[in-house]
A and B are shown apart, each in its own frame.
Chain A
């Protein structure tokens, strides 16, 4: 794997985290308005839209490290008709722009209908961003990536990172809406997503081991360092699921205070982050092209 691909790994994960956060935020904005009122607005570092915006800008800057000629990046939208990269950049721009307008509309007390429109716009752009991101890797000459597991794992990561990010953000910002019932719902959702990721990871590994090599480089997926990393990631995923199940059990106890499980949740979130970085790294090194 080339060094430049670490910037792609960081960009992909940060984008997925941002989109996941916006989807979670939008869900709360439209379904649980009372929860949302606990958040700060404007340029406060406790404002979720500002944090997301900073992450989008940071992710965009990271993606420049992958380019050989970043000074030519203004040409990146030239091929919207055929290139998924062009579409991804358009979706990313729309996503960032939507979040910026949402931030302004809330801090300037613009009519609520406008804020709602900007939130819906950001959510749709975010979904398009993840789909475009998946499209980039669905290359017909790269059989290891050109599978249903690519979009599935990207969407799964978005939901998982978004849920983790939202809970941490609510904990750290002291949002009082984070009650036991809400936390339990999120924990169950995360467990379901992780189960899907484990199954997708297993099936993808099986798909890789069954690939018929028509290229000149005979990559081995079912033994060696690649397989070892895959096993470690699976172990991490199972360990995280056990940890989340334990938190879910503790969280249902009467008189349980959220503060008691904050540290545990943050530790489990770190495991999820490590597992996600490993997953993305494995994805990139599984690149295998037909031909020469």
Chain B
């Protein structure tokens, strides 16, 4: 069975948010709804070297949408079975039967399903399913000026880029087995735990 996935290179991403805008434009999303979000993470601390205290600070970005998980927790819990998974692994929401109970947004650890106030139903990234069916890339992938985003079959992406550890603020991938391959920023090593923090919360939640 196919498993279409995203690749994201945190080392290359400049945080320009073109992917976010391309997604918003393609899907005609309302203010406050972002099916792809760019999280700006920063952190750091002082390190003592001999008699000197040196600053060790860092910043990186994470561009994130629905990860079309192998075990989508949203689909499992949807009471109306409006959330479905295609043969190629794309997880979609059938808005004609969605109740708008928002339970999928409670359970998804990636914050992917979002409520559409106008329609009263949930919506999320569908990997630009119409483009995919025409053999094209999702709009965010083609819009990225630094080529930090890629798209394709999961196993091929892993072969091409390697399977890397998921970094802050992503949850443990074992929960839903997301179809996402990440090349982490050099300072995003979870072992360091240098007080990472998402610093653009207002923007990602309300833009």
Give the CA-CA distance A215 to B79 in the complex, in Å: 26
Which 8 A-B pairs rank lowest in CB-CB distance, beginning with the nearest? A68-B100, A291-B109, A68-B120, A291-B171, A75-B80, A85-B79, A78-B81, A69-B120
Question: Do residues B77 and A82 form an inter-chain contact, with CB atoms below 8 A?
Answer: yes
Which of the residues A4, A85, A291 comes within 8 Å of B170, measured between beta carbons? Answer: A291
Additional A-B contacts beyond A68-B102, A78-B79 (8; CB < 8 A): A72-B98, A72-B99, A75-B97, A82-B77, A142-B107, A216-B169, A291-B169, A292-B204
Given contacts A75-B81, A78-B79, A216-B39, contact A67 B100 (CB under 8 A): yes
Question: Do residues A83 and B110 form an inter-chain contact, with CB atoms below 8 A?
Answer: no
Give the CA-CA distance A290 to B108 in the complex, in Å: 9
Question: Do residues B64 and A292 form an inter-chain contact, with CB atoms below 8 A?
Answer: yes
How many residue pairs link A and B with beta carbons under 8 A? The number is 118
Given contacts A69-B120, A140-B175, contact A82 B76 (CB under 8 A): yes
Q: Give the shortest distance, in Å, between A143 (CB) and chain B (any CB).
A: 11
Complex contacts, B79 vs chain A, CB 8 Å: 75-79, 83, 85-86, 89
**B166: nearest residue on chain A (CB-CB)?**
A291
Complex contacts, B108 vs chain A, CB 8 Å: 141, 291
Residue B101 at the A interface, CB < 8 A? yes
Can you identify 18 A-B contacts, CB atoms within 8 angstroms? A67-B120, A69-B99, A72-B98, A76-B79, A79-B77, A85-B77, A85-B79, A85-B101, A139-B107, A141-B109, A141-B175, A215-B171, A216-B198, A287-B106, A289-B106, A290-B172, A291-B109, A291-B111
Which of the residues B99, B100, B110 comes within 8 Å of A291, measured between beta carbons? Answer: B110
Complex contacts, B109 vs chain A, CB 8 Å: 141, 289-292
Residue B78 at the A interface, CB < 8 A? yes
Given contacts A85-B79, A141-B175, contact A67 B110 (CB under 8 A): no
Give the one of A77, A141, A287 with max B CB within 10 A: A141
**B80: nearest residue on chain A (CB-CB)?**
A75
Complex contacts, A139 vs chain B, CB 8 Å: 77, 106-107
| Binding site secondary structure of chain B | loop
Residue A252 at the B interface, CB < 8 A? no
Which of the residues A66, A67, A77, A83 comes within 8 Å of B77, measured between beta carbons? Answer: A83
What does the 1/0 interface line of A43-73 toward B look like (CB < 8 Å)?
0000000000000000000000011111011
Given contacts A139-B106, A141-B108, A292-B111, contact A72 B97 (CB under 8 A): yes
Question: Do residues B99 and A75 form an inter-chain contact, with CB atoms below 8 A?
Answer: yes
Give the one of B64, B80, B102 with max A CB within 10 A: B80
> Chain A contact residues (Cβ within 8 angstroms of B): what range?
20 to 34
Residue A84 at the B interface, CB < 8 A? yes
In A85-140, which residues have CB < 8 Å from any B CB?
85-86, 89, 136, 139-140
Complex contacts, B98 vs chain A, CB 8 Å: 68-69, 72
In A1-57, which residues have CB < 8 Å from any B CB?
4
Chain B residue total in the interface (Cβ 8 A): 40
Give the CA-CA distance A214 to B97 in the complex, in Å: 33
**B101: nearest residue on chain A (CB-CB)?**
A67
Complex contacts, B172 vs chain A, CB 8 Å: 214, 290
Give the CA-CA distance A83 to B104 in the complex, in Å: 11
Given contacts A84-B77, A142-B107, contact A75 B82 (CB under 8 A): yes
Give the CA-CA distance A67 to B73 in the complex, in Å: 20
Complex contacts, B119 vs chain A, CB 8 Å: 68-69
Give the one of A289, A290, A291 with max B CB within 10 A: A291
What does the 1/0 interface line of B175-207 toward A look like (CB < 8 Å)?
100000000000000000000001001001000
**B105: nearest residue on chain A (CB-CB)?**
A289
**A141: nearest residue on chain B (CB-CB)?**
B109
Complex contacts, B115 vs chain A, CB 8 Å: 68
Give the CA-CA distance A79 to B97 in the complex, in Å: 12
Q: Give the shortest distance, in Å, between B62 (CB) and chain A (any CB).
A: 8
